[in-house]
Amino acid sequence: VYSLDGLLVFGLLLVCTCAYLRKVPRLRAWLLSERRGVWGVCHKAAVIGTRLHVAVSVSCLLMAFYVLVGK
């Protein structure tokens, strides 16, 4: 997380993980019901991942290509 590309990877992984957890009914009620604090960040990341799923998936593919080939 100490560089820009590490921060981008962390952000993408957070958004993808929270969007995936939102699809699981028990975890959605347990983890993503709060809208404040740390769990609120997870809720907002899940909303971003769900609404912008095409942009997030393209960003994940580009970041994977960059990490594998560019670095």
- H helices then E strands: how many in the chain? 4, 0
Amino acid 3: pLDDT: 86
Residue-wise pLDDT tens digits, 21-70? 888 887 777 776 777 877 888 888 988 998 999 999 999 999 999 989 98
pLDDT tens digits, residue range 31-45? 767 778 778 888 889
Contact criterion met (CB below 8 Å) for 46 and 21: yes
pLDDT at 24: 85
Q: Note whether 65 and 21 are within 8 A (CB).
A: no
Q: CA geometry: angle at 46 spanning 2 and 56, to 5°?
A: 65
Domain containing 52: what range? 2-70
Say yes or no to pLDDT of 1 above 70: no
Q: How many domains does the chain have?
A: 1
- pLDDT band with cut points at 50, 70 and 90 for residue 13: very high
Which positions ≥6 away from 11 have C-beta within 8 Å?
none
